[in-house]
Every structure is written in C-alpha cells, then in structure tokens.
Amino acid sequence: MNKTQAIDAFLSQVNFNADGLVTTIAQDIDSGEVLMLAWQNAESLRQTLEKGEMVYFSRSRQRLWHKGESSGHTQTLHDIMIDCDGDAVLAKVSQRAGIACHTGRKSCFYRQFCQQKGIVDNASVLKDPKSIY
C-alpha cells in the first residue's frame, strides 16, 4: 500500500457530518496539553496527511486553513487517530513557538470554571497578538 492508498483507506473510515466536516482535536505530543479544537473536511485532512502539517477548514471563512499561514505558528503532525464511530479526529502535534491560540496563549482552553468567580483565565499571554498578526 502506498501513501496515497493509505490516506484513502484512512479517509474512508471518517464519518463527515452533513456539512462534510469532522471535529479535530490538536494535542501537544510532548506535554499532552490539548491545544485547540477545529474542523476538517476531507481535503484538509488529506493535505494534513500529505504535508505532515495541520490543515483545517475554517467555517467562518469557508476555506482551507493551513494553521500558521499568517502567524507562522504551524503544527507538525506526529500521529493521527479517529474515534470509535469515526466522527472525531485526534492529532498529536508539535506546536511551533508553543502558541496555538490566536490570543497568544499556548492553548485555546484557558477559560476555566471557578466556583468562586464563575470563569477565570488560567494561562498567560506568551506573545501579544498584535505582534503575531
């Protein structure tokens, strides 16, 4: 089986939703930290496997989104899995510059439930977004 056939075989197991999309979790391969959740269509998942870098589908812009294309904060793919029913993807990645979030934080999941305050930020901004974009 060559790589194109392997990608086809993998893609055939993905259950894309009515919009042709699947949810994808990006997890830091070293720390295990969950960095972000985004969406992929078949073409972005294919490009991800071909390039070895994460390519998502931007629902707001309705186009392929090569993560890092404007920030430089690309994600190198190491391993990629689908779940039991094929409607979610888990990608283990190395995050360039250690910043996945457009707010300049490592992870997008920085807004934490707090019994005293409702919601609190649990991570600091590593780089001012104004200097990223």
18 binds a copy of itself (CB under 8 A): no
52 binds a copy of itself (CB under 8 A): no
Identity of the residue, 36 or 55, whose beta carbon is nearer to a copy of itself in the bound complex: 36
Give, as ranges, the residues between 77 and 116 that touch a copy of itself (CB under 8 A).
79-86, 88, 90, 101-103, 105, 108-116
31 binds a copy of itself (CB under 8 A): yes
37 binds a copy of itself (CB under 8 A): yes
76 binds a copy of itself (CB under 8 A): no
78 touches 34 (CB < 8 A) = no
With CB under 8 A as the contact rule, the residue among 9, 19, 72, 128 that binds a copy of itself is 9
| DSSP string covering the chain | --HHHHHHHHHTT----TTS-EEEEEEETTT--EEEEEEE-HHHHHHHHHHSB-EEEETTTTEEEETTTTTS--EEEEEEEE-TTSSEEEEEEEEGGG--STTSSS-S--EEEETTTEEEE-S--SS-HHHH-
Binding site for a copy of itself (CB under 8 A): 1, 3, 5-10, 13, 23, 25, 27, 31-34, 36-37, 49, 79-86, 88, 90, 101-103, 105, 108-119, 122
